[in-house]
Structure 1
Amino acid sequence: MSKPRWSLLVIGALVAALVPGVQAAARDDGPILDPIPHDPVTSGLGLTVTEFARFPKSEPTPAPTDPRLMRHARINHLGELPDGSGRTYVPDLNGSLYLLGADRRPRAYLDVKASFPDFFSGRGLGQGFGFVTFHPGFARNGIFYTVHTESGAALATPTTHPGQPGTRFHGVVTEWTADDPAADVFHGSRREVLRLGFATQIHGIQQIGFNPTARPGDTDHGLLYVAVGDGGLGVSSTEPQELSTPHGKILRIDPAGDDGPTGSYGIPAANPFTDTPGALGEIFAYGMRDPHRFSWDPQAGNRMFLAHIGQHAIEAVYEVRSGDNLGWSEREGTFRYDRADRCRLYPLPADDEQYGYVYPVAQYDHNPPAGWNCDGDVGRAISGGFVYRGEAVPQLRGKYLFADLVDGRVFYTEAARMRRGAEPATIHTLKIYDQDTQRWTSTAELAGDSRVDLRLGRDAEGELYLLSKANGTVWKITGTRPFAGCRPSGATVGDVTAATDWAPVTPAKWRFPGREVVLAEAGTPRPGPRRPFEYAVLTTGPEYTSVRVDAEVRLDTPVEVSNRDVVLVFGHQSDTRFYYAHLSSDNTIYPHNGIFVVDDADRLRIDDQWDARRSRGAAPAVSDTQWHHARVTHCAATGEIAVYVDDMRHPLMTAVDRTLSAGRVGFGSFDNIGSLRELTVTGGVA
């Protein structure tokens, strides 16, 4: 992740203040074209997921015009009833609340849509039956809470607080009391707790929930948190910063109390703004655009984490505490938001500390395609998750798992590294495997749709689930699997630096001074498929199936020359059939810094990191003329390929391809010079 610009500004100011004669460098307050230059890190860890349940098809009310609302089933959460029964619950935005028993078959528990004549789910992505949460004492009192959207005649109903100008929709929190908490179909009563008015169809009430780490007697026990979006108005107004309105806030109320504005709930005395003139006592934290999902880490301080969907560029995770101001719409992530500029973000001001904004503990950016004109949806939106504290998947313990709900990438950060006031924690992208160890490029393949609409859920044991609206399916995370985790064995070759060990394409261009293999003259294009111009194949030792190649490589072309490269060859069967890992100082064009296959045709890029939309690949592998350790692992059985550089714990590049299952290894370049030493090759004998 990039370093927050505020930390660099502070360091610069300190240097200027403490070192005599040093003048502060001129500040660049212009727009930032790429807020976070580095992408999330590709993890060497993959999730194994097993299908848990499928839900019946449902449709919005009224029929929508937005194709993004036409999903198989608009399921958006999974939890477990707090009654020890083991039953899980799943809400569908189109109106149904389902319970799943031991057979994991969805059964309709409550039809929220049928309960309200003005129920509305056909316009905004979060409209309809938005969320449900069960009271910690549900087994005893049968109480749970829902959020739904209303329109039409319902707009004549008074709201708890004044609605936004031009209110068109109401978000309603309802308390339900089941006559028999153990029943599989609801029968009981309901009452309205909270009603808020929104001017647009977006950014309504996104989640409600109880702190599951609070115990009877704790200040937080039995208090209901309500995540309220800005109704889409924060992009051009300061409403999320105004303590006199509920929009763009997290509220905390006592549903068992009666001292709120309508007597339908109480205002906890511990809330931070109860004594602030003009402020709503319900406000727990503020300055939010679209507070999508929050959760608590049941260990390590019971911290509350919030996934916050951004506007221009930043998807962020915050650790939220009482009284926090997340900055919207003055800030977006660790950057300044300018309401007059609908396109770019800006550096934080030099006096930023005086404002007291809270910044993300993790963040990633939208990475729009090249030539994007700042209009339209880039297709990025964070979906919050949970810190894993379960027992079934020990490799995930202490990791905060979350996702991008649109493109379906699943991420993690180390919870211990998500610290307020520190640099945002590194975000890792997880790979996905099914129960048959089939690797999927992303959950989009599992969901069968490029828009996954992915959410996460958690049961009472702390085990995690993935949910997709695209096909109405829930998968349980049942394990992990290392990517390219095979351990090649059978034959090991090293100390191979003599000319007799190698077969170069053009022997005159190579030098073998003793402990190194040196490509001393740049190659030139050759007839046939597009492929590295000059390379040498290791002839000592066998052909390998699964193989691990370890070597130190050096780019000897001066750094002033652009687009420098060396390549590590593997799976070599002929001059027109082999794989190669391209290690380059450039990652902005198709032929550079990636994994490629040559199969009697022009080289084809196969690595996961290449993003054709913005012409960007993995971070440059080599940017100087120093020695660097490079490692390539190719698992023939699965086709998995991983490339590591230096002391990386996670692969720089990954690919899955089964074109070639065996071959030799080699070293070379396109049109540069370079050196190799300390080569060790270990693998199965073909």
Structure 2
Amino acid sequence: MPAFRTLTVAVVLLLTALFAPPAVAAAPVPIDDPIPEKPTPSPLTLTLEEFASFPKTETIPEPTDPRLVRWARINYLGELPDGSRRLYANDLNGKLYLLGRDRQPKEYLDVAAAFAPDFVSGRGLGSGFGFAAFHPEFGRNGRFYTVHTEWGDALTTKTPDLPPQPGTRFHGVITEWTAANPRAATFTGTRREVLRLGFSGQIHGIQQIDFNPAARPGDADHGLLYVAAGDGGRGVTSDDPQNLAIPQGKILRIDPDSSTGKYDIPPSNPFAGQAGKLGEIYAYGMRDPHRFSWDSKAGNRLFLGHIGEHAIEAVYDVGPGDNLGWSEREGSFVYDQADRCHLYTLPDDDAQYGYTYPVAAYDHDPPPGHPCTADSGHAIVGGFVYRGDRLPLLYGKYLFGDIVDGQVFYTIAADMREQTGTRATIYQPRLVDAAGRPVTMQDLSGNTRVDLRFGQDAAGELYALSKANGKIWKVTKATYAPSGVLPSFRPGLVAAYDFEHPVPGDPAREQDQGLSGTPISLVNGGAAMRVADGAYRGSTHSLQTRQVDQAATGNDDWKAGVYAETGLPGLRAFNAAAGTTIMGWFKMTGTGPALNTNTPDPADRYGAIGLAGVLSGDSQGHDVRALLELITVEGELRVVALARRVDGSASQTFAADLPWQTILPRDRWVFLAATFDFDTGAMRLYRDGRALDGSYTVDGDPWGLKGDPEPDLTSATDPRGIKIGGSHPQNTREQNPCDCRMDGLMFLDRVATPGEIRAQYALLR
């Protein structure tokens, strides 16, 4: 093209761009069902055993709202941070109880009597003695904090510390108590007022106060008190939650250990020292920040259960300065107070506002015919990420629920990441009582309105509470019962993939049907790798893996798995394990091994065909702790079981005698299993439930079984992942691709017996 012609075209394009009318941003549109996906039923089963029962109490004054008529309005269960192993629980009607080894609640302090006649618990769902928080150094300094509501003379004789709402009807009051003897069974000592807030409504006051349990002396967060202050009910028609000059609709953070006043403002608070903004504010834009907790062993993230207005019950990952958007946003939707029947899609320019959106959420799903402006009876109660030692199947899961109907949910904490732009899947576990009978929280509480709460002790064990009958249950077991799995396998089924359960909203990932809850990625091929070719009775889909381009160097092969350089805690059952079993259904759909795209020789082929394995704790994506695969043994490709007992040490291989084409004929489904006994050194291979003859390929003692220690176990490190259909699931290179299909993959943390493998095959064939 001539130069002048090029210039002319360029000028025309520039003028067009300059004078063209600006693009019109799409306006938000109403949504009838903002979150159509429902909680996913989970094979995880939680056993709830009755732990404690509390005495009946009455509100002050007599309630006008029947929802306040409860047996005992117990609101939380925690453990004193003094090493005594005593638990504490508060009743909104005014009592603070301690529970010792006998689990019998004994009155420690009567908050209602201390603040009579201004104390009120019979007006508003959150009124009364709302929460207690013990200073992390309570055993030394005797200090703890309570929050309660006041009315009556307090409204005229006492002044809030921060701007109150117009027409204030209630005060939320935080008090510091100092016990003369922290070890005493009942409180004696002194008290002082720390903070008083004024609210115009009898709902959404101060819901929780707490200390970060993971903060240690010397940490910036140590001894700082977090205060969840609701919008007083005014946020729906005002900008109070967005107004940084007032405390309502915020999480505040203060330092109650002050020598100059009631409290100090931590200089690390996001708005400290800024003109026109309260330095106490940690995060804002909230309606009813009901319950928060920290995931102390995974980034110390602060998870908040936030009760919505129209439809959205949400969990947020809250950081300093975050704006949750209320009342401009409800969850990740536009809220319009002029339309009480709909939420709206986000505008195209939403990013400019910088709102923080939920990492998990569900909507109300009112029944047909329910008026859209009426309360459908749902409210989230935030819970805890389980990091205890007793229930490995629950490890890394955030347990929470619905206050009203008592439904219990969980999410995978690692999936709750705002940066992904997607909400984590919400699962609904099965509940059983101590006798193993299926139950609901409504069954246990004896009421359709459960008033569910959660508690946690210092060991990380979890508890469920109900105001309906004033009882507490402890979560004592977590087991899995996936379909199509031999019952004896279920307690040790760390991971299982049937390729019938894509992660909601992300079909390029597959949910784990085992205990660990570890989803895998379908690498490079995504959803197209899930093909309609079930291997066994009841299966409709399987996984296709293959080499994509035989001539091009790269890492475009279809494979599956998961990888984390720091290890995957969900796979911790393979740490210090005495045995492992890998099994599943396999069908060869091509020849192999594939051409090696990593070498210049166009005729070179890989020396192996990848099936499935658990990576070692120091793997780069290839080295394994336990593996079922085809590799070259003495110049011939063989079906093998291969494993390392110790990270970085030598491996042992057990190779089948039969030719691999006989074991895995093309276009035929075959059930393969490999077992690894790390204590005895025994390895076995099975085909369609029968043991295969074979031999070990390494002489001597490659696993280092001789001598101490006993028993011989694998390294006590988190595996870095699972690889399926090839190596390097993190997709850094192509290696050992398999042109095959797989179904019903299972990874156990013990050695399955020959009878169990035969029975598992017979169960599904």
Length-normalised TM-score, structure 2: 0.61
The answer to whether the Cα contact below 8 Å between 2:25 and 2:347 also exists between their aligned partners in 1 is: no
SS at match of 1:269: coil
The answer to whether the Cα contact below 8 Å between 1:549 and 1:681 also exists between their aligned partners in 2 is: no
Structure 1 residue 102: deviation in Å? 0.3
The answer to whether the Cα contact below 8 Å between 1:409 and 1:430 also exists between their aligned partners in 2 is: no
Which of residues 284, 287, 292 in structure 1 aligns to 2:285? 287
- Deviation readout 1:11-64 (Å, 9 max, x if unpaired): xxxxxxxxxxxx999946321100001101111111011110000011111000
Report the counterpart of residue 207 of structure 2 in structure 1: 206
Q: Measured at CA, do residues 647 and 112 of structure 1 come closer, stay the same or move farther in structure 2, by a change above 3 Å? A: farther
Structure 1 residue 681: deviation in Å? 7.9
Which of residues 467, 470, 474 in structure 2 aligns to 1:469? 467
Amino acid at match of 2:129: F
Amino acid at match of 1:412: Y
Q: Measured at CA, do residues 389 and 27 of structure 1 come closer, stay the same or move farther in structure 2, by a change above 3 Å? A: same
Report the counterpart of residue 276 of structure 2 in structure 1: 278
Q: Distance in 1 between matches of 2:35 and 2:361?
A: 9
Report the counterpart of residue 449 of structure 2 in structure 1: 451
SS at match of 2:30: coil
Q: Distance in 1 between matches of 2:373 and 2:126?
A: 21
Correspondence list, 1:116-135, <5 A: 116-117=115-116, 118-135=118-135
Report the counterpart of residue 303 of structure 2 in structure 1: 305
What's the Cα RMSD here? Answer: 2.5
Which of residues 538, 541, 555 in structure 2 aligns to 1:550? 538
Q: Distance in 2 between matches of 1:230 and 1:76?
A: 20
Q: Measured at CA, do residues 300 and 488 of structure 1 come closer, stay the same or move farther in structure 2, by a change above 3 Å? A: closer
Q: Distance in 1 between matches of 2:99 and 2:105?
A: 5
SS at match of 1:78: strand
Q: Distance in 2 between matches of 1:75 and 1:647?
A: 48
SS at match of 2:36: coil
Correspondence list, 1:35-434, <5 A: 35-117=34-116, 118-156=118-156, 157-257=158-258, 263-422=261-420, 423-434=422-433
The answer to whether the Cα contact below 8 Å between 2:393 and 2:479 also exists between their aligned partners in 1 is: no
Q: Distance in 2 between matches of 1:166 and 1:649?
A: 63
The answer to whether the Cα contact below 8 Å between 1:550 and 1:681 also exists between their aligned partners in 2 is: no
Q: Distance in 2 between matches of 1:387 and 1:247?
A: 27
The answer to whether the Cα contact below 8 Å between 2:163 and 2:247 also exists between their aligned partners in 1 is: no
Amino acid at match of 1:61: I
Q: Measured at CA, do residues 350 and 120 of structure 1 come closer, stay the same or move farther in structure 2, by a change above 3 Å? A: same
Report the counterpart of residue 633 of structure 1 in structure 2: none
Q: Measured at CA, do residues 130 and 647 of structure 1 come closer, stay the same or move farther in structure 2, by a change above 3 Å? A: farther
The answer to whether the Cα contact below 8 Å between 2:452 and 2:464 also exists between their aligned partners in 1 is: yes
Structure 1 residue 551: deviation in Å? 5.0
Amino acid at match of 1:169: F
Structure 1 residue 99: deviation in Å? 0.3
The answer to whether the Cα contact below 8 Å between 2:27 and 2:347 also exists between their aligned partners in 1 is: no
Amino acid at match of 2:221: D
Q: Distance in 2 between matches of 1:489 and 1:107?
A: 43
Structure 1 residue 376: deviation in Å? 2.5
Q: Distance in 2 between matches of 1:258 and 1:198?
A: 28
Q: Measured at CA, do residues 71 and 486 of structure 1 come closer, stay the same or move farther in structure 2, by a change above 3 Å? A: farther
Moved more, 371-380 or 95-104: 371-380
Report the counterpart of residue 581 of structure 1 in structure 2: none
Q: Distance in 2 between matches of 1:231 and 1:489?
A: 51
Structure 1 residue 483: deviation in Å? 3.8
Q: Distance in 1 between matches of 2:745 and 2:42?
A: 8
Structure 1 residue 377: deviation in Å? 1.6
Amino acid at match of 1:39: K
Q: Measured at CA, do residues 68 and 277 of structure 1 come closer, stay the same or move farther in structure 2, by a change above 3 Å? A: same
Q: Measured at CA, do residues 321 and 488 of structure 1 come closer, stay the same or move farther in structure 2, by a change above 3 Å? A: closer
Q: Distance in 2 between matches of 1:174 and 1:649?
A: 56
The answer to whether the Cα contact below 8 Å between 1:257 and 1:267 also exists between their aligned partners in 2 is: no
Question: Comparing both chains, which one has the higher relative contact order based on Cα–Cα distances under 8 Å and sequence gaps of 6 or more?
Answer: 1
Amino acid at match of 1:48: T
- Deviation readout 1:80-139 (Å, 9 max, x if unpaired): 000000100000000000000000000000000000011000011110000000000000
Q: Distance in 2 between matches of 1:551 and 1:80?
A: 47
Structure 1 residue 339: deviation in Å? 2.1
- Deviation readout 1:250-295 (Å, 9 max, x if unpaired): 0000001256xxx211011111101321000100000000000111
Structure 2 unaligned segments of length 5 or more: list them: 1-21, 489-535, 542-668, 670-741, 747-760
Q: Distance in 2 between matches of 1:119 and 1:464?
A: 31
Length-normalised TM-score, structure 1: 0.68
Q: Distance in 2 between matches of 1:382 and 1:217?
A: 34
Amino acid at match of 1:236: T
Structure 1 residue 486: deviation in Å? 8.5
Structure 1 unaligned segments of length 5 or more: list them: 1-22, 491-547, 554-628, 630-645, 651-679
The answer to whether the Cα contact below 8 Å between 1:146 and 1:174 also exists between their aligned partners in 2 is: yes
SS at match of 1:77: strand
Q: Measured at CA, do residues 271 and 28 of structure 1 come closer, stay the same or move farther in structure 2, by a change above 3 Å? A: closer
The answer to whether the Cα contact below 8 Å between 1:359 and 1:421 also exists between their aligned partners in 2 is: no
Q: Max radius of gyration: which structure?
A: 2
SS at match of 1:147: strand
- The percent of aligned pairs where both chains have the same amino acid is 62
The answer to whether the Cα contact below 8 Å between 1:46 and 1:430 also exists between their aligned partners in 2 is: yes
SS at match of 1:403: strand
Structure 1 residue 71: deviation in Å? 0.6
Q: Distance in 2 between matches of 1:269 and 1:489?
A: 56
Amino acid at match of 1:268: P
SS at match of 2:140: helix
Structure 1 residue 380: deviation in Å? 0.8
The answer to whether the Cα contact below 8 Å between 1:243 and 1:278 also exists between their aligned partners in 2 is: yes
Q: Measured at CA, do residues 194 and 25 of structure 1 come closer, stay the same or move farther in structure 2, by a change above 3 Å? A: closer
Structure 1 residue 248: deviation in Å? 0.2
Q: Measured at CA, do residues 217 and 366 of structure 1 come closer, stay the same or move farther in structure 2, by a change above 3 Å? A: same
Q: Distance in 2 between matches of 1:269 and 1:398?
A: 32
Q: Distance in 2 between matches of 1:154 and 1:648?
A: 66
Q: Distance in 2 between matches of 1:288 and 1:126?
A: 16
Amino acid at match of 1:93: L
Amino acid at match of 1:154: A
Q: Distance in 1 between matches of 2:182 and 2:73?
A: 25
